[in-house]
Amino acid sequence: MASTIVNMPLNVGTIKGLDCLSHGKFNANVLPIRPSISSLPHRRMFVVKASTNDGPIKKLGISDAECEAAVVAGNIPEAPPVPPIPASPAGTPVVTSVDIKRRPRRNRRSPVLRSAFQETSLSPANFVYPLFIHEGEEDTPIGAMPGCYRLGWRHGLVEEVAKARDVGVNSIVLFPKVPDALKSPTGDEAYNDNGLVPRTIRLLKDKYPDLIIYTDVALDPYSSDGHDGIVREDGVIMNDETVHQLCKQAVSQARAGADVVSPSDMMDGRVGAIRSALDAEGFQHVSIMSYTAKYASSFYGPFREALDSNPRFGDKKTYQMNPANYREALIELRADESEGADILLVKPGLPYLDVVRLLRDNSPLPIAAYQVSGEYSMIKAGGVLKMIDEQKVMLESLMCLRRAGADIILTYFALQAARCLCGEK
């Protein structure tokens, strides 16, 4: 706290051996201590003020012993007066103070206290940045997701990753837009070692060896049917045959350098099968982030536009979870834990905070939440229409996911939010 010296009349004297008039370091009108030997009427002392506009205060050059002697002698330097009680507005009723022992507002009364007692933190390290990639060289805007693009894998992607790393986001997850000509009913392009995703992983790892790369393990970007699995002629999604393909896909991604493979398909038993396949190929170090509670949600629409991966028929309700179900998430949790998952994910995020908390309370594993495309686009639209403050709602929504129990958040806001947290505009 800044202080200043103000002259004021007091009955003080001089200390033996100290001549204020002749001492080079003192002003004759300023004496910081009360003398105990002789008296000199109407000498002055300093008063401490809370602030000053006169610049830094010069020290008076007296010793600690002299300061203490003054205080012992009763010459206590003055501090600013007790601030007045702020006036209430006219008409405020006069009431007797309520006898409340516990007043929680006491811990919220200033920014410093609120920050000190904040239970949840949010930092760029909590973000995983989902990035859409394609074979082209130009970045293509995604109409339903303002600010998001299909990035050219050799150019725009590398630049976007560099921007994210500059503000502390060093984890990404890749989603490919696969040419229609490479799609098939069995999704064989998913495990092509020279496919779009493996090539991209190799490129990024060559440029940024410490970048953490998550990959998506599912057939829908590669399927001519747009489903996460192989579709039988009667429309049934084949479970075990799909899992066989997913294992080959995960191994291909691990071979390219992926750090975390992320099965989002919701086939039964796929985590255990993928773990065994990775271990058999020497990729024991590669982690699995399982989409443990992935719901058949209507919030995915913009994402499917981004990848052109809408189902050609039907829906995904026979393998993704019913949005009405809560306890069922525990069944998926226990299965994924027992099969060797390293991270458990809930998707969507904000509408499913109860499920995030359920997993957090029932597993020691890290919990991830996916703030999906629909959540992102609604906040963006509300901001454009000036119905909400986009930045504040963005940060609040991410904080809510952390508060519910998410250790990491997959969010299209990763770069924008990290810039805000780092103080950039």
pLDDT tens digits, one per residue of 16-36: 333 443 444 434 344 444 444
Cα of first residue to Cα of last residue in the chain, in angstroms, is 31
CB 173 within 8 A of CB 202: no
pLDDT at 424: 75
At 129, is the secondary structure helix, strand, or coil? strand
- Which residues are the active-site residues? 294, 347
Grade residue 306 by pLDDT with cuts at 50, 70 and 90.
Answer: confident
pLDDT at 51: 52
Task: State mean pLDDT over 57-62.
Answer: 77
Grade residue 52 by pLDDT with cuts at 50, 70 and 90.
Answer: low
pLDDT at 255: 98
* pLDDT tens figures, 109-142: 999 999 999 999 999 999 999 999 999 999 999 9
Task: State mean pLDDT over 391-402.
Answer: 98
pLDDT at 311: 79
Note the pTM of the prediction, 2 decimals. 0.82
CB 202 within 8 A of CB 256: yes
46 has a pLDDT exceeding 90? no
Task: State mean pLDDT over 203-227.
Answer: 96
Grade residue 60 by pLDDT with cuts at 50, 70 and 90.
Answer: confident
54 has a pLDDT exceeding 70? no
Task: State mean pLDDT over 172-187.
Answer: 96
Structure tokens at 212: 């953490």
* pLDDT tens figures, 347-359: 999 999 999 999 9
Task: State mean pLDDT over 368-388.
Answer: 97
pLDDT at 425: 60
203 has a pLDDT exceeding 80? yes
What b/e string do you get for 153-185 counting C-beta neighbours within 10 Å, with b at 16 or more? beebbbebbeebbebbbbbbbbbbbbeeebbee
Nearest to 303 by CA among 353, 343, 348, 270: 348
Parallel, antiparallel or unpaired: strands 343-347 and 287-294? parallel
Grade residue 108 by pLDDT with cuts at 50, 70 and 90.
Answer: very high
